[in-house]
Amino acid sequence: MPEGDTVFRTARRLHEALAGHEVTRFDLRVPAHANADLTGETVHGVVPRGKHLLMRIGEYTLHSHLKMEGRWLVFRPGERWRSPAFQARAIVGTVRATAVGFEIAMVDLVRTADEAELVGHLGPDLLGPDWDPVEAGRRVASDPRPVHVAILDQRNLAGLGNEYANELLFVRGILPMRPANELDASAAAGLVDTAARMIRANRDRSGRTFTGDTRPGQQTWVYRRERKPCRRCGTPIRRTEFGATDTSERIVFWCPVCQT
């Protein structure tokens, strides 16, 4: 599942492949930007912002989001694509590499000076240079919604997805349904500090783990483990669904003994 760590690695891979080189192929297969052409411009860099990708080319930024199925793949000149061409929504090529965004979402092209129009609403970025744990803790602790919803809101802190939210709340022993504004300052600070340490520990791993065990089926504490025994107390893990709205519900897993 693409979360902040996946986006960070994707941005790094794209930056290493494209940065400093002139664009020789540029193709956006979305109606709003189908006629855009940045060939001849230089790729200045690719950076992550929460779960968003910003590819800076010339005076413009190509913005994309991976959502659930999106992926950027890099190919050598002449190499056969490893995904169907009909899934390609953005193509940026240079003489040394071609980057193709398959099934990516939110494909936008704006002047780099206007990037804030697309990502300025995001909260402190867990993997970014602007990470501010004090501000992130303040935002979470002032949110009256269930804490699981609060930490998924990218306006509070940027980079967490549902897998992280479930695992983080288990590690901190917090019931997902508890209103975030019921957390005291110490609990909120501990929550965002653990979130930062957790996602940074996974940032450079090819396989994500929350338990420290990388073996298949052993990487998570509660995520996708409904009815299985809690790894700490043996109580069956429970599952439900809720979210900020009916259309943004997420699957929530928790241990009724370890999380109170």
| Residues annotated as part of the active site | 2-3, 51, 250
Strands laid side by side in the 88-93 sheet: 25-28, 88-93, 98-102, 71-75
Rounded-to-integer distance, Cα 57 and Cα 173, Å: 44
User: Which tokens sit at 14?
Assistant: 């794209």
- The Cα-based distances of 216 to 208, 211, 220, 226, 229 in angstroms read 11, 12, 10, 16, 17
Rounded-to-integer distance, Cα 207 and Cα 147, Å: 27
Cβ-count burial of 217 within 10 angstroms (0-12 exposed, 13-18 middle, 19+ buried)? exposed
DSSP E strands: which ranges in the chain? Answer: 25-28, 43-49, 52-57, 60-65, 71-75, 88-93, 98-102, 105-111, 238-242, 250-254
For residue 249, the number of C-alpha atoms closer than 13 Å in the C-beta half-sphere is 8
